[in-house]
Amino acid sequence: MIGFPGAASFGPALLESVDFASVAPHQNYGIVFQGGKYVFVSGLGLNTGSKIVSVAIAEVTGRADGIVWSGNGSLAILYSRAQGWFQTISGLPGAAAAGALVDVSSLGGEFSAVAVDTPGKQIVVAVGGENGAVYQATNGQFTRLVSMAKPVSLSFSNDGQTLYALDAATLQVTAASLGGHGFQTLALPGIANPVAIQSLIDSQNRQLLYVACGSDRLLRILDVSSQQIVMDAPLDFQPSSLDPFGSSSFVLAARSQSANPLWLFTSTPQPAAYFVPAVQLRHPDRRGAAVGGRTR
């Protein structure tokens, strides 16, 4: 993506014939599914000055639904909700090494979410259903952290000491202290369809919690300490995700088709939602006429 939220466009394609791709946060490398295999690619970006290098990742055993990354980009987790498994790719960016496939179906519920902390040391998974809960996963073993009927999204605090878990059944977020095993409940009044959460430290050193609300067409920002609503941002579209995109931005709706725009929310210079139109440049020195705009 070229430019900044509010005046951005898609640049030329860097890779062709890609079935699925995910780029590490704040890095110029990622993992793609291409030609029936997973490949680690580096040298991404128009301004890196380096050639794109692709290396196949051995011993990845299944087709994933998605990928989550540690904040420092050293660990990626491939996962399949439908098949109930996840698999780590560690040693990035130096030497990608696939861990053993971990079967989540033994927990007896519907695999709904997975998250990892910034250094890639702590992994948590969530399953929904009658015995729904959030678990810490260590070497293929699971430790129950908190019970909840419909956990749909997980997020670590910046320091990795607190885990936030969104329960779509009770319409609240549980903040679990991983050191002291204490709990705090954050209510979400006036919201009917929360779908994703992310935690973030702002410029005032406040621990904020972002909550994307699907059919509500809303992004709520909560101050965790005071439990006060910092902002309710109405949206002109239905958000489906809340994935980091830069230091202070999130993807609220990914592109399911090439004709779809990319929907972003950024907290700087002013909190607002923006779109990047589905116009791709055909050559690096030819800028498209369409640029992204602010929705409100």
Strands 249-253 and 262-266: antiparallel
Give pLDDT, residue 110.
96
Backbone angles phi, psi at 36, to 5 degrees: 80, 10
Backbone angles phi, psi at 106, to 5 degrees: -65, -15
Q: Residue 46 — pLDDT band, cuts 50, 70, 90? A: low
Report the distance separating Cα 74 and Cα 121, nearest Å.
10
Give pLDDT, residue 203.
84
Domain residue spans of the chain: 2-20+102-294, 21-101
pLDDT tops 70 at residue 281: no
- State which amino acid sits at residue 296: R
The reported pTM is 0.90
Give pLDDT, residue 51.
85
Give pLDDT, residue 154.
98
> What integer best gives the mean pLDDT of the chain?
89
Give pLDDT, residue 288.
35
Cα 173 to the center of its chain, rounded Å: 17
When mean pLDDT is compared across 89-103, 150-164, 267-281, the lowest value belongs to 267-281
Give pLDDT, residue 286.
37
Structure tokens at 129: 């259903």
Higher pLDDT, 1 or 274: 274
Report the distance separating Cα 112 and Cα 124, nearest Å.
11
* Alpha-carbon dihedral sign for residues 99, 19, 54, 280: negative
Report the distance separating Cα 265 and Cα 292, nearest Å.
12
* Alpha-carbon dihedral sign for residues 245, 242, 249, 137: negative
Q: Using alpha carbons only, give the angle 148, 197, 21 rounded to the nearest 5 degrees.
A: 110
CATH class of 2-20+102-294: mainly beta
The answer to whether the beta carbons of residues 196 and 152 sit under 8 Å apart is yes
Count of other CB atoms within 10 angstroms of residue 38: 24
pLDDT, tens digit, for every residue of 233-274?
Answer: 999 999 999 998 877 789 999 887 778 889 999 887 778 899
Report the distance separating Cα 144 and Cα 133, nearest Å.
7
Strands 110-116 and 97-98: unpaired
